[in-house]
């Protein structure tokens, strides 16, 4: 129900008819304190479309969603029109009543409750003291899942479900309350290809039945696959809205970053010695029969479109995810790590995917973060830390990696994303590894820092280090790695030679070569 009591007209998705404008935003601004998160944002959303919002981390996507769903208010003077009615601002309750539902990246489900109760949870938040009607809950849940053609055990606790299934529960929950618009925030970050296919087919099906979907993502390939129209954002502004046909990966990357990365291939000659050999490594259904070799002095890319399994393999190499079967050999010797300390001792280092949660302790200072992995090594005989050496170490790395504006005593939270990542890399370089594994190292980092990190990596291999670069970004892998392995749904599909393939061919292989 709209604020004025009318019901919005229902429009079937027929291209020849003029679709109803669900939402229009004109010159919307939002300031968070001194930060201008949204700048003169113009935006249109039509009923029945699948619209994708693309942008790097920090571009204002989340702010936009919060404003649309009424969680946050936009600044004065912003004009928002919903179903033809002008509002100064959207209130959360109105948005909810009008059928606007957001599915956050963390899904916001209740892990201790059943599938049925999660889906039908809005029944619990109704007013009145009528007792809980479990039959009604199961009914609503069942019928919603049937609408989606999905089969899930209703009585199962959500904590026991896979992430893909949890996502379906989250969608069902949104649907169960007469959703007209579902906004999904980064829905595919942890899904395998197969799971993404299921998700997309459900979305298309619901869309056919009249549901409007807004998709927020930074994954260019999936956006091009599913979206009708795409809005590109950067630094709080709208770069443009395009139809799917008018875009490709390269154009998107350029728009997102604001500059084209001057990618160039600069492959140093790798040695012949095999420093790491993985043979038929398997772990449950995380990954199966993974085999590859890493030569000394090379950068090996691991790319896998929308695929999980890569991080799990990396963590197994790092001793944090014990595999069921298969072997890992470092310098010819088989290793069986019980924990990551043993991996570090063997010369393996891992820069994790989630910089803020897994890579750094952001509340503590730069020096402590940088030295934590080798702190035991810079002690005197009686066990005291050699503070001078620790300081030297920090300052050396700051200089070496050119971590601007970093001082040993300031908290890591005060640094930019790029500099934070350099600190994480320094931390691991200080352990003098032979093998460095980087997992999505330039995620959410600005262009200049990206280039700097590529330079760092290339210098490292010139000096004999071996690197595994896990990444989603096709150009990043293509231009940095002479060789790359392609993973899909937990398996190594093929090995790609970036020297001989053209970039387009490489892109083809990655996107479709399954």
Instruction: List phi, psi (to 5°) of 419.
Output: -65, -35
- Alpha-carbon distance values, 277 to 203, 415, 463, 467 (Å): 41, 37, 21, 13
Which token pair is 419? 């500099």
Chain centre to alpha carbon of residue 248: 20
Q: Does residue number 502 form part of the binding site for another protein (CB under 8 A)? A: no
Q: Does residue number 184 form part of the binding site for another protein (CB under 8 A)? A: no
Q: Which is nearer to another protein, 50 or 328 (CB)?
A: 328
Query: Is the CB of residue 485 less than 8 Å from the CB of residue 302?
Result: yes
Q: Is 23 helix (H, G, I), strand (E, B) or coil?
A: strand
Query: What minimum distance in Å lies between the beta carbon of 258 and another protein?
Result: 30
Can you name the residues that pair with 349 across neighbouring β-strands? 436
Q: Does residue number 388 form part of the binding site for another protein (CB under 8 A)? A: no
| 194, burial (CB in 10 Å: exposed 0-12, middle 13-18, buried 19+) | middle
**Which one of 113, 407, 447, 501 is in contact with another protein (CB under 8 A)?**
113
- Comparing C-alpha atoms, which of 94, 93, 66, 72 is closest to residue 82? 94
Q: Which is nearer to another protein, 375 or 410 (CB)?
A: 375
Site for another protein in 290-309 (CB under 8 A): none
Q: Which is nearer to another protein, 63 or 373 (CB)?
A: 373
Mask for 236-265, x = binds another protein (CB under 8 A): ------------------------------
Can you name the residues that pair with 292 across neighbouring β-strands? 278
Q: Which is nearer to another protein, 68 or 474 (CB)?
A: 68
Q: Which is nearer to another protein, 142 or 251 (CB)?
A: 142
Q: Which is nearer to another protein, 135 or 272 (CB)?
A: 135
Q: Does residue number 150 form part of the binding site for another protein (CB under 8 A)? A: no
Site for another protein in 189-208 (CB under 8 A): 192, 194-195
Site for another protein in 406-445 (CB under 8 A): 427, 431
- Alpha-carbon distance values, 182 to 48, 176, 282, 306 (Å): 11, 12, 37, 21
Q: Is 57 helix (H, G, I), strand (E, B) or coil?
A: coil
**Which one of 121, 337, 454, 479 is in contact with another protein (CB under 8 A)?**
121
- Measured from the Cβ of residue 430, the count of other Cβ atoms closer than 10 Å reads 21
- Report how far residue 400's alpha carbon sits from residue 461's, in angstroms, rounded to the nearest whole number: 15
Query: What minimum distance in Å lies between the beta carbon of 493 and another protein?
Result: 17
Q: Does residue number 109 form part of the binding site for another protein (CB under 8 A)? A: yes
Residue reference for tokens 């948005």 = 95
Q: What is the DSSP letter of 122?
A: G
Which token pair is 217? 């993502």
**Which one of 337, 350, 454, 506 is in contact with another protein (CB under 8 A)?**
350
Binding region for another protein (CB under 8 A) = 92-93, 96, 104, 108-114, 117, 121-126, 129-132, 134-135, 138, 154-155, 159-162, 164-165, 192, 194-195, 284-286, 320, 339-341, 344, 350, 352, 357-364, 368-369, 371-373, 375-376, 379, 383-385, 387, 427, 431
């Amino acid at each position: 129900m709209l604020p004025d009591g009318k019901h919005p007209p229902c429009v079937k998705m027929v291209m020849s008819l003029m679709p109803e404008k669900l939402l229009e935003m004109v010159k919307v601004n939002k300031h968070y304190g001194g930060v201008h998160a949204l700048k003169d944002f113009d935006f249109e959303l039509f009923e029945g479309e699948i619209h994708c919002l693309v942008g790097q981390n920090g571009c204002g996507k989340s702010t936009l969603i919060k404003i649309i769903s009424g969680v946050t208010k936009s600044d004065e003077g912003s004009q928002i029109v919903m179903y033809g009615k002008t509002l100064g601002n959207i209130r959360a309750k109105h948005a909810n009543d009008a059928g606007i539902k957001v599915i956050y990246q963390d899904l916001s489900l209740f892990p201790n409750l059943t599938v049925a109760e999660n889906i039908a949870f809005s029944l619990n938040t109704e007013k009145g003291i009528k007792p809980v009607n479990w039959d009604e809950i199961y009914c609503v849940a069942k019928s919603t899942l049937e609408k989606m053609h999905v089969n899930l055990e209703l009585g199962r606790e959500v904590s026991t479900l896979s992430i893909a299934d949890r996502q379906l529960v989250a969608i069902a929950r949104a649907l169960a309350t007469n959703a007209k618009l579902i906004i999904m925030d980064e829905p595919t970050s942890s899904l395998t290809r197969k799971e993404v296919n299921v998700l997309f087919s459900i979305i298309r099906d619901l869309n056919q039945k009249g549901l409007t979907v807004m998709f927020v993502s930074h994954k260019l390939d999936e956006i091009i696959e599913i979206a009708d129209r795409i809005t590109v954002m950067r630094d709080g502004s709208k770069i443009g809205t395009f139809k799917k046909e008018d875009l490709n990966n390269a154009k998107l990357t350029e728009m997102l970053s604001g500059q084209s990365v001057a990618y160039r291939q600069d492959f140093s000659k790798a040695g012949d010695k095999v420093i790491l050999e993985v043979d038929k490594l398997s772990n449950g259904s995380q990954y199966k029969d993974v085999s590859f070799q890493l030569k000394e002095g090379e950068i090996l890319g691991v790319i896998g479109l929308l695929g999980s399994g890569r991080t799990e393999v990396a963590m197994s190499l790092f001793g944090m995810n014990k595999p069921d079967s298969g072997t890992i050999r470092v310098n010819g010797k088989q290793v069986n790590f019980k924990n990551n300390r043993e991996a570090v001792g063997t010369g393996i280092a891992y820069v994790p995917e989630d910089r803020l949660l897994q890579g750094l302790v952001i509340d503590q200072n730069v020096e402590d973060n940088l030295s934590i992995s080798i702190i035991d090594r810079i002690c005197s005989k009686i066990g005291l830390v050699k503070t001078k050496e620790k300081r030297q170490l920090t300052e050396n790395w700051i200089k070496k990696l050119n971590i601007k504006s970093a001082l040993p005593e300031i908290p890591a939270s005060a640094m930019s994303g790029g500099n934070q990542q350099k600190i994480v890399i320094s931390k691991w370089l200080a352990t003098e590894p032979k093998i460095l594994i980087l997992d999505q190292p330039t995620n959410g980092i600005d262009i200049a820092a990206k280039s700097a990190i590529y330079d760092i990596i290339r210098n490292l291999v010139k000096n004999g280090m071996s690197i595994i670069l896990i990444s989603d970004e096709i150009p990043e892998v293509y231009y940095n790695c002479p060789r790359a392995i392609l993973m899909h749904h937990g398996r190594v599909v093929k090995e790609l030679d970036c020297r001989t393939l053209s970039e387009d061919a490489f892109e083809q292989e990655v996107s479709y070569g399954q």
